[in-house]
């Protein structure tokens, strides 16, 4: 069963302020490793309950798709955490490392569960975290993203299209436009999205942006920006 990909941290409508924190915000499992650690912390004043699940993460027709998977398991899958306490959740690899030279992608979804019978006078706020997990291919080779990007004009407005022909994922963030002024113009600040190996994703740009100059972005958290589209006006 496939489900739409949740945001990294999504507040779902249900009323007391949540104290759930999850770290780290991403996991990389080496081919030589069997498990990685995820920590769930309760910074609130009430005991919290959470469910932890694993999904295989793919990208189909420009959309993120999650499917239930047993390639990874989590232990424990259900947790109860007292105020100020934290719980270790082990993410355990159950399959051999990928043999095609490309990393495999998963998401660990952590859902805070509402407390039965709790009445705080209104809705509760229940938090969902969706943590990316990447499995290195056999032999632990160095994987990297190789990106081919284009500026798209669509009926819904301009979009940045990025295709990844590499062996590793690309985290795209902080899209800026250069060559239209003295310095770069921010277009889409913060995290834009991921492009998995062999996939193509497209994201909307501001509707009033001029098709000129170049589009740049920060890839996989690198300090310097990478140029994605050069001379967008000619494309």
SS3 content of the chain, % helix, strand, coil (to 5): 0, 55, 45
- Backbone φ, ψ for residue 232 (5° rounding): -55, -25
The structural domains of the chain, with segments of one domain joined by +, span 20-135, 147-230
* CATH hierarchy code of domain 147-230: 2.60.40
pLDDT of residue 235: 47
Domain with residues 20-135, CATH architecture? Sandwich (2.60)
| pLDDT > 70: percent of the chain | 84
pLDDT, tens digit (0-9, with 9 covering 90-100), for 147-188: 999 999 999 999 999 999 999 999 999 999 988 665 779 999
pLDDT of residue 62: 94
Distance, in Å, from the CA atom of 92 to the CA atom of 94, rounded to the nearest integer, reads 6
pLDDT, tens digit (0-9, with 9 covering 90-100), for 5-59: 443 444 444 444 568 999 999 999 999 999 999 999 999 999 999 999 999 999 9
Contact 190, 203 (CB under 8 A): no
Q: Quick check: do 20-135 and 147-230 share a fold?
A: yes
Distance, in Å, from the CA atom of 9 to the CA atom of 130, rounded to the nearest integer, reads 6
Nearest to 67 by CA among 82, 59, 57, 79: 57
pLDDT, tens digit (0-9, with 9 covering 90-100), for 87-134: 999 999 999 999 999 999 999 999 999 876 454 555 555 789 999 999
């Amino acid at each position: 069963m496939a489900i739409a990909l949740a945001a990294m941290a999504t507040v779902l409508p249900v009323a007391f302020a949540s104290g759930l924190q999850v770290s780290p915000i991403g996991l990389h499992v080496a081919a030589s490793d069997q498990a990685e650690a995820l920590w769930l912390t309760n910074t609130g004043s009430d005991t919290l309950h959470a469910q932890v699940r694993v999904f295989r993460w793919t990208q189909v027709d420009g959309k993120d798709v999650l499917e239930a998977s047993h390639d990874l398991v989590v232990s424990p899958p259900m947790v109860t955490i007292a105020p100020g306490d934290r719980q270790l959740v082990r993410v355990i690899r159950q399959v051999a490392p990928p043999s095609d030279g490309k990393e495999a992608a998963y998401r660990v979804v952590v859902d805070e569960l509402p407390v039965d019978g709790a009445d705080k006078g209104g809705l509760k706020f229940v938090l969902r975290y969706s943590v990316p997990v990447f499995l290195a291919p056999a032999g632990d080779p160095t994987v990297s993203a190789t990106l081919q990007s284009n500026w798209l004009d669509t009926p819904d407005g301009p979009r940045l299209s990025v295709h990844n022909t590499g062996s590793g994922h690309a985290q795209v963030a902080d899209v800026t436009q250069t060559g239209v002024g003295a310095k770069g113009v921010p277009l889409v600040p913060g995290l834009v999205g991921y492009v998995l190996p062999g996939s193509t994703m497209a994201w909307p740009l501001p509707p009033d942006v001029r098709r000129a100059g170049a589009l740049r972005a920060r890839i996989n958290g690198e300090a310097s920006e990478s140029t994605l589209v050069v001379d967008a006006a000619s494309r």
